[in-house]
Structure 1
Amino acid sequence: MNLKIIQLEEMHLNDCFDLDQKSLKGLWTKDQWQRELTDPKRICLGTIDIETKKLLGLCSAWLVTDELHITSIAVHPIHKRKGIGKVLISDLIKRAKALSTKHIILEVKDRNEEAKSFYKSMGFKIVGHRSNFYKDGSDALILTKGLFKK
């Protein structure tokens, strides 16, 4: 499988929404995805299969002064554990450094062991907790990754 990272745009709206439904069980509405794809302060990256042009993974983040806040990361269920998430986060880290971002922050469900392990492998550290953060009432852990040594 040959993969390519692309900047997602409004023309990818349906693909982003479909992947959200399959991988994240409808985290965002189509209107939320449209805002995500059109706001210049947001970075939306996608991993596509070069041959089929299918969107296999995506991540989005908000640029807030010197911080990049990852708001969503999804990989198509049949393509999980193939390194797609790692490629996306690695590319996002590279872009964040180019923008002189000091650190990256994200929330993850406190019971999502697979995601916690993934983020730990990418150098993220748990720095906090948000109670009742998700729609289903579950709590979130706050993770961060510094980008420049002090």
Structure 2
Amino acid sequence: MKLTIIQLGIMHLNDCVDLDQKSLNGLWTKSQWERELTDPNRICIGIIELETKKLLGLCSAWLVIEELHITFIAVHPLHQRRGLGKFLLTDLIKRSKSLQTNHIHLEVKENNEPAKAFYKSMGFKRVGNRTNFYKDGSDALILKKENNKKSKNQ
């Protein structure tokens, strides 16, 4: 299977909504996805299987001054545990370095052990929590990754 990462746009709206529904039970509405795919201060990338053009995973983030806030990352359930999340996040980190971001932030459900282990393996560290953050009342852990570290003399 040959894969590539592309910048997603409004033409991928239905694919994003569909992947969101299948992987995270519809975290966002169609209008939220429309805004995510059209706002110039947001990065939305996806993994596409070249032969079928099928969207297998996606990652979205907001660029806020010198920080990147990851707002969504998901891989289609039939393609999880194959390194696609790492492929996506590595590409996003590479893109964020070229944008001169200093930090990358994200929230993860406190009881989502696989995701927490994944983010830890990617260099994220816990810096706080948000109480009652998710629709089901679950708390979120706030994770942060340093990016483009400057020397102490700068």
The TM-score, its normalising length taken from structure 1, stands at 0.99
> Is the radius of gyration larger for structure 1 or structure 2?
2
Deviations 1:50-72 (A, max 9, x none): 11100000000000000000000
- SS across alignment from 1:32: helix
Runs of 4 or more off by more than 3 Å in structure 1? none
What is the Cα deviation at residue 5 of structure 1?
0.1
Deviations 1:78-130 (A, max 9, x none): 10011110010000000000000001000000000010000001000011010
Which residue of 1 is the match for residue 41 of structure 2?
41
Which residue of 2 is the match for residue 20 of structure 1?
20
Inter-partner Cα distance in structure 1 for 2:90 and 2:103 = 14
Return the letter of the residue paired with 1:50.
Answer: L
- SS across alignment from 1:58: strand
The percentage of aligned residue pairs carrying the same residue is: 74
Inter-partner Cα distance in structure 1 for 2:56 and 2:82 = 11
The TM-score, its normalising length taken from structure 2, stands at 0.96
What is the aligned residue count?
Answer: 150
Which residue of 1 is the match for residue 79 of structure 2?
79
What is the Cα deviation at residue 149 of structure 1?
2.6
Inter-partner Cα distance in structure 1 for 2:78 and 2:139 = 27
Indicate yes or no: 2:65 matched with 1:68: no
What is the Cα deviation at residue 33 of structure 1?
0.2
Give unpaired runs (5+ residues) of structure 1: none
1:1-150 map, 5 Å: 1-150=1-150
Inter-partner Cα distance in structure 1 for 2:148 and 2:11 = 34
What is the Cα deviation at residue 148 of structure 1?
2.2
- SS across alignment from 2:95: helix
RMSD over aligned Cα, in angstroms? 0.5
Return the letter of the residue paired with 2:75.
Answer: V
Inter-partner Cα distance in structure 2 for 1:144 and 1:93 = 12
